Amino acid sequence: MGRIMNFESKYIWESLPILLQGLQLTLIISLSGLLGGFIIGLLAGTCRALGGRITKTLSLIFVEVIRGTPIMVQVMFIYFALPMVLPIRIEPVTAAIVTIVINSGAYIAEITRGAILSINKGFKEASLAMGLSQRSTLWHVIMPLALRRMIPALGNQWIISIKDTSLFIVIGVAELTRQGQEIIAGNFRALEVWTAVAMIYLAVTLCLSFLLKQLEKRMHIL
pLDDT digit string, tens, across residues 76-85: 999 999 999 9
**pLDDT value of residue 221:** 52
**Residues 186-201 pLDDT 10s:** 999 999 999 999 999 9
User: What is the average pLDDT across 49-54?
Assistant: 90
DSSP string, the chain: -PPPPPP-THHHHHHHHHHHHHHHHHHHHHHHHHHHHHHHHHHHHHHHHH--HHHHHHHHHHHHHHHTS-HHHHHHIIIIIHHHHSS----HHHHHHHHHHHHHHHHHHHHHHHHHHHS-HHHHHHHHHTT--HHHHIIIIIHHHHHHHHHHHHHHHHHHHHHHGGGGGGGT--SHHHHHHHHHHHH--HHHHHHHHHHHHHHHHHHHHHHHHHHHHHHT--
**pLDDT value of residue 1:** 41
- Residue 176: which pLDDT band, with cuts at 50, 70 and 90? very high
**Residues 119-159 pLDDT 10s:** 888 887 788 788 778 788 888 888 888 888 898 899 999 99
Which residues lie below 8 Å from residue 27, measured CB to CB, with a gap of 6+? 162, 204
Which residues lie below 8 Å from residue 70, measured CB to CB, with a gap of 6+? none
Q: For the structural domain made of 16-219, what CATH number should be given?
A: 1.10.3720.10
Give residue 139's identity as a one-letter amino acid code. W
> Where exactly are the structural domains of the chain?
16-219
